[in-house]
Structure 1
Amino acid sequence: MLTIDYAKYDALIFDMDGTLVDSMPAHLSAWEQALLKQQLPVHIDFVAQRGGMPTLKIAEQYQQHFKVSIDGERLLQDKRAGFDALWQKVSRIDASCQLLAEFQQTKKLGLGTGAERVNMQRIISNLDLAQYFEAMVCAEDVQAHKPEPDTFLQVAKQLAAAPQRCLVFEDTPFGLQAAHNAGMDCVLVKDMKLDAFMAVNS
C-alpha cells in the first residue's frame, strides 16, 4: 500500500486514460486497426508509452522512429472510428476514482488529459465522474501537449492552486515528465493500483 502525505497538497490533478479509467486497451486496439489499414508495422508498446499525446503527434513520432510513411489524417480518422466502437466498454480504475470521493470536500480536484474533448466528455459523463472536477483541460485547450507542462499548469491555474501544491496522478512516462516539468509531484498508476510516488526533485 502506497503511503502519501496528502496534507502537503491543495489540489489533486488526474490524467484520464489509464489513470482514472481503463481505456488503454480500447485505444491500443483502435491504434492497431488503424495501422494495419495502412499496412504499417504494429509496434503497440511505442504507442502505449506515449499515452497522453494527441494521435497526430504520436503518428509523427512513429513515422520518424520506424522510418515509415503514415497518412496522418487517415490514421486519425481510422483510430477515432475504432475507438468510437469501443469507448462504452471503458470502466473506472477504482484505486484512483476512490480518491475523488475521499477528497471531494477537502481538496480542489482537476482533470488534465491529452484526450480530445469529445472523448473526455463522453467517458467522464458515462462513468459519472464530472461531478468531482472543478476544472477539466483536454487536448484542444493547450498548444503544447505532454510531456510539456501546459496541460497541468492550465488545470492549476483554473483551480487557483500553486503548482508546487498540486499532486498529479499519471500512468505514462510522458505524463510523469509533464507533471515534473510543471513543478508538481506525481503518483504513478500501474496495473490498476497507485504504484509509486515520484517527487519533482527526486
Structure 2
Amino acid sequence: MKAFIFDLNGTMINDMEYHTRAWQDIMNTDLGANFTYAQVKEQMYGKNSEVLIRLFGEGRFTEEEMQQISLEKERRYQQAFLPHLALLPGLQDFIESAHKHNIPMAIASAAIPFNIDFVLDNLNIRQYFKAIVSADDVTISKPHPETFLKAAQLLGVKPADCTVFEDTPKGVECAANAGMAAVVLTTTHVANEFAHLGNVVHFCDDFTGDYVRALVG
C-alpha cells in the first residue's frame, strides 16, 4: 500500500450514534421539528449545513444561523461522547505500524476542524497524519471525490495507490469516484448497504483482523 486515508467519525471512533442524537436533539428541541432517529441517521453525511438544508429545505436558515446551529450541535456531541472517546480496537497499533513502515496517512472527513481537533488532541494521535482534510477545505462534499482527491494530493500519491477506510455508503461512493479501494468499518451500516459499490475490498468491525493487519505487515 502506498497511502491510507481515513474517514473520522464512525471509522476511527465509534461515535455516529452520538452525532445522530445530538442532531435529533437540536432539530426537535431547538428547531421545532419532529424527526425520528432513523430519519436523521439517513441524512448523516456531508457538511453540517448540507444536513440542515436536506432536512429543512433551502433558505430556511442563513449561513450565519447554520454555523451557530452547527457549533451548538458539536458542543452537545462532544459533551456526550467525551467519556467514551477511544479509537476502534486495533487502530492505535495499526497507525503506529503504518507510521513505522513510512506509509503516509491522512484524515479526510466532512467534520469541521472543531471536531477533528477534539479527536486528535484528546487521543494524542495528530503526529501520525501527514494531511488533514476537513469540511472547511473542500467545496463539494462526499460523495463528490474532492475530499479524497485532495488528501491524496497532499500526501503526494496517486489516487489509485490509496486505500480508504470508511463506514458509510456515501463515503465509499466518494472513494469509488476518486478511483480508490475501500475497507468498510461496519460500525454504522451493514454490508448489504454497500452492495451497489464495486470498490469495497473488505468489511470489518474494527482493526484487529488479519486482513487489516496484513496491510502494513
The TM-score with structure 1 as length reference comes to 0.82
Kept in 2, the 8 Å contact 1:32–1:44? The answer is yes
The 1:77–1:134 alpha-carbon spacing in structure 2 relative to 1, beyond 3 Å, is: closer
- The match for 2:138 is 142
Kept in 2, the 8 Å contact 1:156–1:162? The answer is yes
Deviation at 1:98, TM superposition (A): 3.5
- The match for 2:199 is 200
Instruction: Give the RMSD, CA atoms, in angstroms.
Output: 2.9
2:20 is the alignment partner of 1:28:
yes
Kept in 2, the 8 Å contact 1:19–1:96? The answer is no
The 1:50–1:92 alpha-carbon spacing in structure 2 relative to 1, beyond 3 Å, is: farther
Aligned length: 192
Kept in 2, the 8 Å contact 1:49–1:172? The answer is no
- Inter-partner Cα distance in structure 2 for 1:201 and 1:175: 11
Deviation at 1:77, TM superposition (A): 4.4
SS at match of 2:100: coil
- Inter-partner Cα distance in structure 2 for 1:45 and 1:100: 33
2:70 is the alignment partner of 1:76:
yes
Deviation at 1:108, TM superposition (A): 1.2
- The match for 2:178 is 182
Which of 58, 61, 77 aligns to 2:54? It is: 61
Q: Which runs of 5+ in 2 are unaligned?
A: 202-217
Which of 35, 59, 79 aligns to 1:85? It is: 79
Deviation at 1:53, TM superposition (A): 1.2
2:149 is the alignment partner of 1:153:
yes
Question: Which 4+ stretches in 1 moved above 6 angstroms?
Answer: 195-198
More strand by share: 1
Deviation at 1:49, TM superposition (A): 3.9
Deviation at 1:199, TM superposition (A): 4.8
Q: Which runs of 5+ in 1 are unaligned?
A: 1-8
